[in-house]
Structure 1
Amino acid sequence: MNPIQLSSLLILVLYVSLGTHTLAEEGPAPAATGDAELPLAALRTFADVFGRIKEDYVETVSDRALIENAIRGILAGLDPHSAYISGEEYRELQLGTSGEFGGLGIEVSMEDGLIKVIAPIDGTPAQRAGLQAGDVIVRIDDKPVKGLSLNEAVQLMRGKPGTQVRLSIQRGSDDKPFEVILERAVIQVASVKSRMLEPGFGYVRLSQFQAHTSEDMLKAIETLKSESGGRLKGLILDLRNNPGGVLNGAVGVADAFLNQGLIVYTEGRIKNSQMRFNAGPDDTLDGAPLVVLVNGGSASASEIVAGALQDHRRAIVMGTPTFGKGSVQTIIPIDDESALKLTTARYYTPSGRSIQAQGIFPDIILERGEFKPLTDAGAATVKESNLVRHLEEGPAPTPAADTKQNPSLASEDLQLAEALHVLKGVSLLGRQ
């Protein structure tokens, strides 16, 4: 086949492919404009390059490999979240939304050619190794990340459970990179954890949004309500380092605390990308105060929940500004072995705020901190023992049998302790 024949064939194939996509995904095509016409000259150039590589490249490359690489390049030039997904990656994506998948337990994105950590998932190798939202991965097993696609970097981090991978991490612009060694594992994520912080005040932690997250959360809240005599005085919903997940899971979680109104809406170019989700009539807390904790690792579905509850003034959002991932990705199957993950819309909160690249700004800024009890070191104050003729220490009283020496909540999690203070204050005031 000569170059002219190859060029004509590829143009025909691309034209048919584009036309099928338009009919299947967009409905009737809009009126043609100069920019909307098929760029025949550019497609001829593409076909010529394709033919030149086929004939002159130092090694033989299959047509499928060349076409897949071309598709990956097109998508990589759009945004960090659009990608070509192979059959194996597609299956792993489906497993991830159901709560079990292989890897390190880390949500990542591409930024300036490097891999940035959105959030580690609770109870995974990444979380146990101390990885944090905002960390940048610069090397994977001594291989520089610069120049790799997001999918290529993710493939390097994947592997057989039980094997190890060494990551070089940059934390902060001025800090030197440090290395961590993680052992790959089959990640089984329990997306909902709960406990009672104090009598009447419950805590629910959502590590990600899966298909059954809203149902599991409602069950956890019912358990907390039973422990509290049938009703909670208030609840803390912890979405810190929650990288998102299934949209329906986020809608269900927000709906659980609202009794009416818009939760989230999406807007895009095609009709199917324009969606609106509204709340039902039941509030599982019956109006009890709600505090939502977020941080820079709270992304996508987490931001939908925080934004909806904030706009409806149903919750006080505390923490630090969220990640700002407000775009919708649609999985479009190509054949039995591959699919496109294509950005098709943007999320908007009920008041019309765009989440994309802005995130949710908390009502109360609460930076991550560490609680340190006051010590005598360096103290210049006068104490009772410094006074002349002070009484000596008397015998210690016998402790009660049920006295417990539990660490304070502040020493365990300072942000959570401060959120509890706010929740108790709002509960005492009897308003939100």
Structure 2
Amino acid sequence: MKLIRSPWLSAVTALILGISIGIVSSVHAEKSQSRLPVDDVRMLSQVLERIKQAYVEDVDDSELLESAIEGMLSGLDPHSDYLTPEDFADLRESTSGEFGGLGIEITLDDTGFVRIVAPIDDTPAYRAGLQSGDLITQINDTPVKGMTINDAVTLMRGKPGTSLTLTIAREGENKPLEFEITRDIIQVTSIRSRMLEPGFGYVRISQFQERTGQDFIEAMESLRDENDGSLDGLVLDLRNNPGGVLQASVDVVDALISDGLIVYTEGRLPNSASRFTAHGDDPSDGVNLVVLINGGSASASEIVAGAVQDHQRGVIMGTRSFGKGSVQTILPLDQEHAIKLTTARYFTPSGRSIQAQGIVPDIEVRPGKLTQENGNPYYTEADLAGHLANPEGENGSRDRAEKGEESQEQQLIDDYQLYQALTMLKGMRILNAAR
């Protein structure tokens, strides 16, 4: 069969060869292995030309080439992607903490559907009840199977106040679930903190952003101030945290340990190998620590959990994490376009790769709800006839103690994992006091 030549084909071939030359120059020594096979390049050129000549409709050259690039990248792994100018702008917005949409982190499942890694706290998706692990099978009336991530994101984005319907397949459910969700401007608050009980603080990191490390230090200082300058224990909640900025996760670990390796990365390019170590001080002051993780804890969350576990800095509690142990780098193609390419794997201080494995908690605690018995089966002094009255009134001190604590107590009852984390911290305090 004769290969038809054309100016368009020559330009495509030049583009392909130009890309391969760029790759060869960047990896230096791997000359022969990095060269694209001539026969394969010729076949790709022939496919492009046949599409131009025989497809039922006229195809725009730029659209065809963008589709080819998207196909190359999506075939590598679920996290490599082609970024249009709109995609690039969206990426910058998401790391700065404000963007439009539903508030979910998604990935492409090997079934061809879009899987939810985690809903982001206090967003439309979170309030609607979407869960980590849900499969999105349909967006409005459009089936998702076979879509790229970009296609799915484009359909889910829209003006704030408009709504869409997601059809969800959830493990344990016999039939698909439908959620009607109203789009909104997503303003992610990276850090939330509060006292669980006197002496025991709680910090929730919902996503790792540029300021998360500094915000984490400030949250610990605020909790200490609220508790007369010290803390007996701290719960760091990373459940359903899909990750974010690598440096932010390093900063959080740096605030928990005084020395040692935090994480390191390895890849084929020299600049993809890096090591991150602690800087010598410990803003946490060695506070007893429990870190909560689950299947929605991914990427940067797993860096934190893995480092805490390897340094035996605290107890990891919950369920196995997501298992994303790869690093993506944004590589510009021109002033408006870029590719997001997986360039390295990251490893915990002990050399563990959590890619497709996840972090296994030290103590597995499944989600649940604490059920307490109603009523008091015992008589107390107050039940005895003629008992002495409390000078502050029958319920005075109790009312003051319970006022403001009822909502926190209810949160512990509703969140069994958090309840167990607090119980663990109390046990650690007792053990430390006995030493």
Give the TM-score normalised by the residue count of structure 1. Answer: 0.91
For 1:388, the equivalent position in structure 2 comes to: none
For 1:15, the equivalent position in structure 2 comes to: 17
Q: Output one character per residue of 1:212-233: Cα deviation in whole Å (capped at 9) or x when no partner.
A: 0001111111111111222211
Q: 394, 400, 404: which one pairs with 1:398?
A: 394
In 1, the alpha carbon distance for the partners of 2:18 and 2:43 equals 18
For 1:108, the equivalent position in structure 2 comes to: 106
| SS of equivalent residue, structure 1 residue 335 | coil
For 2:39, the equivalent position in structure 1 comes to: 41
In 2, the alpha carbon distance for the partners of 1:219 and 1:317 equals 23
Q: 400, 408, 411: which one pairs with 2:413?
A: 411
**Is the contact between residue 20 and residue 36 of structure 2 (CA under 8 Å) also seen in structure 1?**
no
In 1, the alpha carbon distance for the partners of 2:371 and 2:214 equals 38
- Greater shift, 160-169 or 4-13, is seen at 4-13
Q: What runs of 5+ residues in structure 2 fail to find an aligned partner?
A: none
For 1:206, the equivalent position in structure 2 comes to: 205
For 2:148, the equivalent position in structure 1 comes to: 149
One-letter amino acid of the structure 2 residue matched with residue 417 of structure 1: Y
Distance 1:243 1:393, change over 3 A: farther
| SS of equivalent residue, structure 1 residue 420 | helix
For 2:157, the equivalent position in structure 1 comes to: 158
Q: Output one character per residue of 1:349-397: Cα deviation in whole Å (capped at 9) or x when no partner.
A: 0001101000100000010001222369xxxxxx899xxxxx9999998
**Is the contact between residue 95 and residue 210 of structure 2 (CA under 8 Å) also seen in structure 1?**
yes
| SS of equivalent residue, structure 1 residue 162 | coil
One-letter amino acid of the structure 2 residue matched with residue 48 of structure 1: Q
In 2, the alpha carbon distance for the partners of 1:316 and 1:265 equals 22
2:382 is aligned with 1:369: no
Distance 1:363 1:394, change over 3 A: farther
In 1, the alpha carbon distance for the partners of 2:374 and 2:364 equals 28
Q: CA deviation at 1:253?
A: 0.3
**Is the contact between residue 250 and residue 276 of structure 2 (CA under 8 Å) also seen in structure 1?**
yes
In 2, the alpha carbon distance for the partners of 1:92 and 1:149 equals 16
Q: What runs of 5+ residues in structure 1 fail to find an aligned partner?
A: 377-382, 386-390
In 2, the alpha carbon distance for the partners of 1:208 and 1:358 equals 21
**Is the contact between residue 212 and residue 249 of structure 1 (CA under 8 Å) also seen in structure 2?**
yes
2:26 is aligned with 1:30: no
Distance 1:14 1:202, change over 3 A: same
Distance 1:393 1:47, change over 3 A: farther
One-letter amino acid of the structure 2 residue matched with residue 29 of structure 1: A
In 1, the alpha carbon distance for the partners of 2:269 and 2:136 equals 36
**Is the contact between residue 24 and residue 30 of structure 2 (CA under 8 Å) also seen in structure 1?**
no
Q: CA deviation at 1:31?
A: 4.4
One-letter amino acid of the structure 1 residue matched with residue 72 of structure 2: I
Q: Output one character per residue of 1:296-351: Cα deviation in whole Å (capped at 9) or x when no partner.
A: 00000000000001000001000000000110000011112211000011110000
In 2, the alpha carbon distance for the partners of 1:103 and 1:174 equals 26
2:431 is aligned with 1:429: yes
For 1:140, the equivalent position in structure 2 comes to: 139
Q: Output one character per residue of 1:161-219: Cα deviation in whole Å (capped at 9) or x when no partner.
A: 11101001111165211100111111001100000111111110000000000011111
**Is the contact between residue 242 and residue 296 of structure 2 (CA under 8 Å) also seen in structure 1?**
yes
2:91 is aligned with 1:89: no
**Is the contact between residue 3 and residue 48 of structure 1 (CA under 8 Å) also seen in structure 2?**
no
One-letter amino acid of the structure 2 residue matched with residue 421 of structure 1: T
Q: Output one character per residue of 1:225-268: Cα deviation in whole Å (capped at 9) or x when no partner.
A: 11122221111100000000000000000110010100001111
Q: CA deviation at 1:131?
A: 0.8
- Output aligned runs, 1:25-424, within 5 Å: 25-26=26-27, 28-33=28-33, 36-111=34-109, 112-172=111-171, 175-374=174-373, 398-400=394-396, 402=400, 404=402, 406-407=406-407, 408=409, 409-424=411-426
One-letter amino acid of the structure 2 residue matched with residue 242 of structure 1: N
One-letter amino acid of the structure 2 residue matched with residue 30 of structure 1: E
Q: CA deviation at 1:121?
A: 0.3
**Is the contact between residue 132 and residue 240 of structure 2 (CA under 8 Å) also seen in structure 1?**
yes
Q: CA deviation at 1:4?
A: 5.4
One-letter amino acid of the structure 2 residue matched with residue 140 of structure 1: I
- Greater shift, 210-219 or 228-237, is seen at 228-237
**Is the contact between residue 326 and residue 354 of structure 1 (CA under 8 Å) also seen in structure 2?**
yes
Q: CA deviation at 1:21?
A: 3.6
| SS of equivalent residue, structure 1 residue 44 | helix
Q: CA deviation at 1:149?
A: 1.3
Q: How many residues align?
A: 417
One-letter amino acid of the structure 1 residue matched with residue 235 of structure 2: I
| SS of equivalent residue, structure 2 residue 402 | coil
Q: Output one character per residue of 1:43-68: Cα deviation in whole Å (capped at 9) or x when no partner.
A: 11111111121122222221110100
**Is the contact between residue 257 and residue 278 of structure 2 (CA under 8 Å) also seen in structure 1?**
yes
| SS of equivalent residue, structure 1 residue 263 | strand
Q: CA deviation at 1:403?
A: 5.0
Give the TM-score normalised by the residue count of structure 2. Answer: 0.91
One-letter amino acid of the structure 2 residue matched with residue 154 of structure 1: V
One-letter amino acid of the structure 2 residue matched with residue 72 of structure 1: E
**Is the contact between residue 231 and residue 285 of structure 1 (CA under 8 Å) also seen in structure 2?**
no
Distance 1:78 1:371, change over 3 A: same
**Is the contact between residue 234 and residue 289 of structure 1 (CA under 8 Å) also seen in structure 2?**
yes
In 2, the alpha carbon distance for the partners of 1:417 and 1:47 equals 61
In 1, the alpha carbon distance for the partners of 2:24 and 2:221 equals 47
Distance 1:424 1:151, change over 3 A: same
Q: CA deviation at 1:6?
A: 4.3
What percent of counterpart residues are identical? 52
**Is the contact between residue 6 and residue 47 of structure 1 (CA under 8 Å) also seen in structure 2?**
no
In 1, the alpha carbon distance for the partners of 2:401 and 2:428 equals 30
**Is the contact between residue 24 and residue 35 of structure 2 (CA under 8 Å) also seen in structure 1?**
no
